[in-house]
Chains A and B, each alone.
Chain A
Amino acid sequence: MLLIHCPYCEEDRSELEFRWAGEAHIARPENIAAISDEEFAEYFFLRNNEKGLTYERWRHIHGCGRFFNAARDTVSDKFLATYKAGMPKQPVPQTGASEKTVETYEATEGDAR
C-alpha cells in the first residue's frame, strides 16, 4: 500500500483514502466539437503509460476530497513529489531509479525497511 502526501492536508495518508485519477496535465480542448476524430482519440484515449517517471492525478476522496498532481516512479512506485492542481509540472530530482523491472518482492524488501 502506498503512503501518499496530500498537498492540501499536508499529511502523509494511506492509499486507501485516495483514488487514482489518470494522467496529469491533459488539457481539455476548448472547442471539443470542432476537433477531428484523431485529435479526440489523442485527448480522450491515448496515454503515455510511462515506465519510470510519470505525472498523474490523485484525489483525496476520503479526506479533503480535492484533486492534486503527483510525480511518481512507476518502477519503484515511489512518489517523487505531490503538488496542488493548477501548478505547472514540477521538476523532480534525478533519482537514478532502477531501470529494470523489479521481478520479485524480495528485491524491494530492503527498500521497504
Chain B
Amino acid sequence: MRRYSVFAIAREAMRAHKGWEAQWTSPEPQSSYDVIIVGAGGHGLGAAYYLAKEHGITNVAVIEKGWLGGGNTGRNTTIIRSNYLYEESMDIYEHSLKLWEGLSQELNYNVMYSPRGVMMLSHNTHDMQSFKRHINANTLYGIDNEWLTPEQAKAYVPVLDISKTARYPINGAALQRRGGTARHDAVAWGYARAASDRGVHIIQNCEVTGIRRGPNGEVQGVETTRGFIGAKKVGVSAAGHSSVVMEMAGVRVPLHSNPLQALVSEPLKPIFPCVVMSNTVHAYISQSDKGELVIGAGTDQYNSYSQTGGLQIITHTLDAICELFPIFRRVKMMRQWGGITDNTPDRSPIQGVTPVPGLFVNCGWGTGGFKATPGSANLFAHLIARGEPHRLAAGLTLDRFRTGRLIDEAAAAAVAH
C-alpha cells in the first residue's frame, strides 16, 4: 500500500494522476478462512482490521451482500459523542471517541474527524435535571460534558433562537466539546484499505444465505450466493439484518428493525458550528464540510426493511428545526433516505458470544452506531480473537436479557427514537 501524503499528491500531480492504486483488492473467495465477518460496514471492516493488526489474524474475509459501506455506515448523520449515562455505555463510547481522535493518522486516511462539539438542548425542567445528571455522571467518569446557560448556548451557536417567545423555549444546554462529526464513507474506506493491505479479503456482492453447523452445533462456515465458504469463527455485524442472519444459525435476538431517516439541504456557506440535538422536540442538525445541513429524523414505529420511512416523520423534524433555527426556514432540502436500524429493548448494543460455538454477534447499535464504529470494531475483534469479551464490552452480552442486567439508556434521555 502506497501511503498518502503531500509528497504523494505532488508526485501524482507531476504524472497526471496515473499512479494512484486501487484502495483495496477484490479477490475471489477462498474455500475457507480463519474468521469470516458478515457485513462490510464500518463495524465489520474495522473488526477485520483490528483482527489483523492487534491479534495477528490475517486470514479473514469480510462478506457483504451489497457494496462496502452501503448500509447504515453510508446513511447516518455522522454524529460522535460519548456522554452517555451508564458506565457500560460510557466505557464503550469513550473508548471509541479516543480511537476517533487518532484514527486518521492510524489509517493514513483522512476520516475528517471534527471535534466541533455536540450540544443537547434543554427545553424544560425534566430535561435540565436529566442533562445535569448526565453531566455529573460523565464528570465523575472523566468524560467531558458541561452545562451552558441559554446565552452561552447562543454564543456557541449564533443562529439558535433563545427568545422567551420561541415555540420551543430553551432553558440551557449540555455541551460535549470533544464530540463532533466525521466523514462516514471515509471511515469504511479507510478501514477497508488498511484491512486489505494486511491481507483481509473483502468480498462484495456476496450474500450470506445460510450458516452451516457441525455435529456438535459448532460453526463450520457460511453458505453464500457465491458458494460455501468455511470458517471456524463467524462474526455477524449486519446491523438491521442481524435478525435475519442470526436466524440462519437458529439464534433469536431481541431486535426490532426500524427505518430511520435523514436528509440534507442544499449547500450553504459555513453557518452552523457544531452539532445540535433536541430530544424533546426531536431534531438534530449539523453542517457538513460540503456545506449541506445534515438533519436526522425519527424512526418509524413499525418493523420494516424498506429503507424508506414515512414522510410525516421528516416533516415533524423539519417543523422543529424551523422553530429552533428560524433562519433555515427557506432552505431547500435536497435528498432524503432511510436506513434500517436494529433496536434492542434497552436501546443498548449487543456484543458477545452466542449459544452457537464459534458464532459471535455485534448488533443492536440501533440509531447510534456510527459514533461507536472504531470502539465497537476494536472490541469485536478482541471478542472473536480471544473468544471472550473485552473488559470494556463485558456488559453488552446477549445473555443480559435472560439475567435482567439491562443497560437502560432508553429511559435515560439520550436522544430517543
In the complex the two chains form, is B306's CB within 8 Å of A74's CB? yes
Choose from A2, A15, A44, A102 the contact partner of B307 (Cβ within 8 Å).
Answer: A102
Asked whether A90 is an interface residue with its Cβ less than 8 Å from the other chain, the reply is no
Asked whether A92 is an interface residue with its Cβ less than 8 Å from the other chain, the reply is no
Separation of A23 and B311 alpha carbons in the complex (Å): 24
For residue B342, give the distance in angstroms from its CB to the closest CB of chain A. 8
Interface size class of A (residues with CB under 8 A): 20 to 34
User: With a CB–CB cut-off of 8 A, which chain A residues contact B252?
Assistant: 42, 46-48
Q: Is the interface of A mostly helix, strand, loop or mixed?
A: loop
User: With a CB–CB cut-off of 8 A, which chain B residues contact A104?
Assistant: 307, 337
User: With a CB–CB cut-off of 8 A, which chain B residues contact A16?
Assistant: 312
User: With a CB–CB cut-off of 8 A, which chain B residues contact A41?
Assistant: 254, 401-402
Separation of A41 and B256 alpha carbons in the complex (Å): 15
From known contacts A46-B401, A49-B243, infer whether A76 and B306 are also in contact, taking CB-CB under 8 Å.
yes
In the complex the two chains form, is B256's CB within 8 Å of A49's CB? yes
In the complex the two chains form, is A51's CB within 8 Å of B305's CB? yes
From known contacts A41-B401, A46-B254, A51-B244, infer whether A102 and B304 are also in contact, taking CB-CB under 8 Å.
no
In the complex the two chains form, is B310's CB within 8 Å of A49's CB? no
Asked whether B345 is an interface residue with its Cβ less than 8 Å from the other chain, the reply is yes
Q: Which of A1-55 contact B (CB under 8 A)?
A: 1-2, 15-16, 19-20, 37-38, 40-42, 44-51, 54
Q: Which of B54-68 contact A (CB under 8 A)?
A: 66
Separation of A75 and B340 alpha carbons in the complex (Å): 11
Asked whether B255 is an interface residue with its Cβ less than 8 Å from the other chain, the reply is yes
Separation of A76 and B303 alpha carbons in the complex (Å): 11
Closest to B66 in A: A103
Q: Which of A73-110 contact B (CB under 8 A)?
A: 74-77, 101-105, 108
Separation of A16 and B403 alpha carbons in the complex (Å): 37
0/1 interface trace, chain B 295-316, chain A, CB 8 Å (1 if under): 0000001111111101110000
Given A44-B401, A101-B305, list of 14 further CB < 8 A pairs?
A1-B312, A20-B301, A20-B302, A37-B402, A42-B252, A46-B252, A47-B243, A47-B252, A47-B255, A56-B302, A74-B257, A74-B304, A103-B66, A105-B337
Residues of B within 8 A of A (CB): 66, 241, 243-244, 252-257, 301-308, 310-312, 336-337, 340, 345, 401-404
